[in-house]
Amino acid sequence: MAPKRPRGAGAFPKPVESTAPPPPDSSALYAALDLGTNSCRMLIAQPKGSQFHVVDSFSKSVQLGQGLERHGRLSRASMARAVSAIRVCGQKINRHKVTRMRLVATEACRRAQNARDFIRHVRRETGLKLEIIQPEEEARLAVISCAPLVSTKTEQLLVVDIGGGSTELVWIDLSRVPMRDRPRAIMRLHAGFHPPDTPFPTAKVVDWISVPLGVATLRDQFSDVEDDAARYALMSWFFEENLAEFAPYKDEQAREGFQIVGTSGTVTTVAASHLGLKRYDRTKVDGLRMTSDQIEAVIQRYLELGPEGRRRDPRIGTDRHALIMSGSAILQALLRLWPTDRLSVADRGLREGLLYAQMSADGVLEDGPL
């Protein structure tokens, strides 16, 4: 006699729908927009290995912070310029069918009394939602974007991001990280400057500071000083005074094993002038190493040119000539405190950091650096 079959044994089991998230799409496009005090910049990129490939980009000087130092508010004219630029970014995002994006505003919107109204206005006019990020996140994103430029020989690292409205400095101790792991340890800071315990070697953030002085705000503070050289000297010393609370300020730093990575239009412009480029070439500038003496020589030439000479110099450019001396004053203050034979020029920054962070979170970077 045949054994009894359990009830329902002949029926196919009902399929169970998977609750696992869909696999990451490495062909997806990502966008990162950075609306700063002076410029509006965007990148659209696709993951490629452990890096990404830029598909489209946008950059325009909008001078959002013009008059902010005096009135504490964004002016109608500056907001109109910014909205016009953001609208172009929106068109590019739509054209490329980008769905993964992060669109951020920084110091000008952190300080302006009418920033929230401006953010709502941008949403109505362009359909894009901006978020105002805090100084620590801005500094952290700039740091991870520069990680590939960190030398394996570096034990003490200073990352400097000179913006239009603020300057972020992050001092990192890498001395306890194995040499080959140092750039990768910098990347791991995307989780925070004081990440939880991990089995991986970690970079130690000694201190960080966001100084509310950038190329535009520092220039505006000394716009009433007529003498070019005197204005430059005053700006440099004033910026140094604002570093007094930064922990490594009074420490003597040996040049050996010390590296500065500088990311900003100021640093890339100084590098282009040092190379004598008639036309800016990112491939020659990004990753270039300069000494304090070489940078000082370039700044001295800027002073000798004077305002009119700087305006005509093709290496400085029409968008940068009014801001290059305030940026140089910041750079000189840093090098006066911490001279180095290894200042690495980074033509990268907040946008790249935003892209790395998004792609890492989605798991689309192969053996990703984050």
Domains and CATH numbers, the chain: 26-133 (3.30.420.40), 136-351 (3.30.420.150)
Report the DSSP pairing between strands 167-173 and 204-211: antiparallel
What lies within 8 Å, CB to CB, of 185 at 6+ separation is: 174, 177, 200, 201, 202, 203
Please tell me the predicted confidence (pLDDT) of residue 253: 67
pLDDT of residue 121: 97
Q: Which of 289, 300, 306, 290 is CA-nearest to residue 236?
A: 300
Q: What is the DSSP code string of 135-192?
A: HHHHHHHHHHHHGGG--TT-SEEEEEEE-SS-EEEEEEE-TTS-GGGHHHHHHGGGG-
N-terminal to C-terminal alpha carbon distance within the chain:
65
Q: pLDDT by residue (tens digit) across 314-352?
A: 888 777 888 999 999 999 999 999 988 889 999 988 999
pLDDT band at 307 (very low <50, low <70, confident <90, very high): very high
pLDDT at position 154: 92
Mean pLDDT of 280-298: 93
Q: Which residue has the tokens 């739509």?
A: 94
